[in-house]
Amino acid sequence: MSASWIDPYAGFQYEEDIITVSAEHQRDKLSTCGITPEVFGAQVDPAFFIGIAIHAGIRSGITAEGNVNMVQQVLQHRAARLDEPLTVRGEITDVKPVPRGRTLHTSVTFFDAGGAPVITANRVSLKPDADKAGVRGAGERPPPLITDLAGLALHDVYQLTPDVVKGYSSEGNSIHYEQAAAEKAGFRAPLIGGGMGVHYLMAQLWSAGAPAAFAMDIYFRRPIFWDEQVQVASVERIMALLKADGKVGTELALSEI
């Protein structure tokens, strides 16, 4: 670990900060992904807050390098507005040993000017130990949400490319944009960040009519690499990002709050 990074521990508080998601930023990033930004109107795609929460930790001294997102919960108390200043507060709630290293449990909330919560992002990620690259085991995983692919409604298909993935993610965790870093972590190629995959699910949700306030529990089942094709699928309040072989890459359970 670099001397400039803090070794994560339960109870570590992030430095408070103020962020905005600008209309230009959303337009550029979603367009890079192949998503039509206009589907969100003047609202922020909540998938952005997955990465913003990670960067809140980075700014506070917690490296994300090599970390792999496992489980993510996003609570939208109300839709965030483009260019709206939001105050960020977060902490590490737990650190647990697992065979491959440690899992980091974090909670980050974004508050509006009146002090009301807008978005909360809770995350469980794997922080692998460098000397355990071949070791399997990252702790208990929730059971799959989808067991019958035949019952899914199929939606938009997206073709990923290295240029698309690098255009979306170019800092914070090099397993998303550098071949050597991905191979060192045990992957055949760079994999998309969790938040990037969730953008595709949110575009489908907004086009179908998203509720104003909701909770989504997101499970990152398999890595999605930067040269794969993915398809959005859904059944009732469950959404998925399918890989070309039909296997589930990302699952999402939605509930209104």
Write the pLDDT tens digit of every residue in 76-108: 999 999 999 999 999 999 999 998 889 999 999
Average pLDDT over residues 38-67: 95
Structure tokens at 35: 């998503």
Determine what percent of the chain is predicted with pLDDT higher than 90: 82
Determine what percent of the chain is predicted with pLDDT higher than 70: 94
Site of tokens 């979306």: 168
**What is the structure's pLDDT at 257?**
83
Confidence (pTM): 0.93
Structure tokens at 245: 């072989």
More confident: 22 or 172: 22
Residues 250 and 219: beta-carbon distance below 8 Å: yes
210 Rama class: left (phi>0) / alpha (psi -120 to 50) / beta: beta
Domains of the chain in sequence order:
17-256 (3.10.129.10)
Give phi and psi for 80, each to the nearest 5: -75, 145
Residues 232 and 204: beta-carbon distance below 8 Å: yes
Site of tokens 């589930």: 248
| Closest alpha carbon to 226 in 239, 204, 248, 243 | 243
Beta bridge partners of 68: 126
Average pLDDT over residues 113-141: 81
Q: What's the mean per-residue pLDDT of the chain?
A: 93
